[in-house]
Chains A and B, each alone.
Chain A
Amino acid sequence: MPEENDLELADAELTNLLASMPKVSAPNDFEFRVSARIASARIAAKPRGLFGALRIAVPAAALLAVTATVLILNPYWSETATVSEPTEVAVAKEPQEAPATVPGREIEIPPTTFASNGPSIRPERRMEVDDPLTSVSRGPSNDDAGTSFVESGTQGEKIYPRGINPNVDSRPVSPNETRTGISIRDILGQLGVSFSPTANGLQVDSVAANSIAARSGLLAGDVIESLNGQRISADTVLFGAFAARRIVVRRDGRPVGISLGR
């Protein structure tokens, strides 16, 4: 019992101590500040009903419009939107030259060298076509992006700028678009041949000394009938990458095949 009394006494002392703490009062303008806050809260709560709905609906509609515009105009999404038919996508990318288009599979792309008749397919000109679902934005020419493309040929190495793959002319062109190419005169000129067009073909007027044509055995008086198996005339223009390998000439009335690059 004495312990309990002590505890109660201690509690009483403590409560007296706490009760003796000075009381703080609210400031004199307390009511005014409360009324101001209430008025402010009323104003903030006012815009309800139609205006309140518009405050939410207008920004939301604007956001939706912007998002829709971005999705429609963004070429990435436009391509993605047509990817459901992969074959069509590839055709759309290469309207003239890229026929085979099964994504992810190795396909053969015929060289785009000649404007008239399609040249033979070269085995080394194979490429992997990207799966459009995983890499839609990459065009075929991006396969070698970052490295210079080097093509060996009879005229030595051709070094192309980065990102340019001469094997693939994938630039989307309209069927009626005029494309620039290399004339047969320029090609034969680089081989060291000057010629005159005749009814039977291109007659070699002269062959430059130590030129590729001279080393390969081309002679003045030969009549060039075909280049790489394609019949050519003075008006022939070649497109894309080209490597001259074999010329067929008529010499003394007989066809003679000449391999270039010896």
Chain B
Amino acid sequence: MAHDAFHFPTKEGFTFRMSEEKRSDHELIEATKNGDESAFTEIVTRYKSPLTNYLYRFLNDYEEAVDLAQETFVRVYFAIDRYHTQFAFSTYIYRIATNLAISEIRRRKRRRLFSISGLLAGEKDEAAEFEIPDDRALPEDELLDSERDTQIARAIAALPEKYRIPIILRDIQGRSYEEVSAVMDLGLGTTKSRISRGRALLKEKLQEYLR
């Protein structure tokens, strides 16, 4: 039997289904819809690290990445009835994570933006906004093995969102072009173009490591 499994309680409150045969994402989703919480736990276990790694490369903040990854699964859980299995689940979950990450980045920008219109307003009393560069040291430097990794992380973090997302998905997470375009809800050509442009920007910044 495909699902010849047994359950045992864990401290997490879920039960793990031990099976010799790995169930597909869609099967797990269907099982979750039918009330099998262990199936959802399996989904979490399957995607927790890829998603955390993706969000970490996106945000450069491990704690925030873990938090958003958890939030992603919570949202998936409560919206699971609305998920249609004609789409790849990985695409679905990466899209949710991406939207959360974009929201987080915009929230950070709002915190860093402030107006000094009183000091430098023009004659038309136009408010001037200045973005303060984020010069904070990466808090997870210890996770990076070398100075090279630090420089790569900084170069990725400096990319505009529209290039950073496809570069991380394609070149770090190893997703296909089709998946990347589906996550970003863009055409395949636009996606490839952005990846190409993002790579060009990275090459400029990482020249010393490419020779």
Contacts and interface: CB of A to CB of B under 8 A. Distances in A.
B48 A26 contact: yes
B6 interface: no
B199 A11 contact: yes
A238 B78 CA distance: 85
A133 B73 CA distance: 61
Given A22-B143, A24-B52, A24-B65, A37 B210 contact: no
A30 to B, nearest CB: 5
14 contacts: A14-B202, A17-B206, A17-B210, A18-B152, A19-B171, A22-B145, A24-B56, A24-B143, A26-B69, A30-B66, A30-B70, A32-B11, A38-B78, A39-B13
B44 interface: yes
Interface string A17-45: 11101111111011111110111010000
Contact of B172 (A18, A27, A32, A38): A18
Contacts of A25: 49, 52-53
B149 A34 contact: no
A35 B12 contact: yes
A34 to B, nearest CB: 5
A246 B31 CA distance: 110
Contact of A18 (B12, B13, B53, B167): B167
Contact of B53 (A10, A24, A30, A32): A24
Contacts of A37: 70-71, 74
Contacts of B202: 14, 18
A32 B12 contact: yes
Nearest to B45: A31
B166 to A, nearest CB: 12
Interface in B16-64: 41, 44-45, 48-49, 51-53, 56-57, 62
Given A22-B144, A23-B53, A34-B44, A17 B209 contact: yes
A13 interface: yes
What is the interface of chain A mostly: helix, strand, loop, or mixed? helix
B145 A35 contact: no
Contact of A21 (B11, B49, B62, B152): B152
B97 to A, nearest CB: 12
Q: How large is the interface on A (under 10, 10 to 19, 20 to 34, 35 or more residues)?
A: 20 to 34
Nearest to A42: B78
A32 B152 contact: no
A129 to B, nearest CB: 45
Interface in B166-211: 167, 171-172, 174, 199, 202-203, 206, 209-210
B13 A33 contact: no
A6 to B, nearest CB: 11
B92 interface: no
B83 interface: no
Contacts of A38: 74, 77-78
A44 to B, nearest CB: 11
A13 B210 CA distance: 6
A15 interface: yes
The 7 lowest CB-CB distance pairs between A and B, nearest first, are: A26-B48, A32-B12, A18-B171, A26-B52, A25-B49, A30-B48, A34-B73
Contact of B210 (A14, A24, A32, A35): A14
B89 interface: no
B56 to A, nearest CB: 5
Nearest to B73: A34
Contact of A19 (B51, B77, B172, B210): B172
Nearest to A9: B210
Given A31-B48, A34-B73, 16 more contacts: A18-B171, A19-B171, A22-B144, A24-B52, A24-B143, A25-B52, A25-B53, A27-B66, A30-B44, A31-B12, A31-B45, A32-B12, A35-B12, A37-B70, A38-B77, A41-B78
A15 B78 CA distance: 36
A21 B73 CA distance: 25
B140 to A, nearest CB: 8
B13 A35 contact: yes
Contacts of A15: 171, 199
B149 A21 contact: yes
A21 B74 CA distance: 28
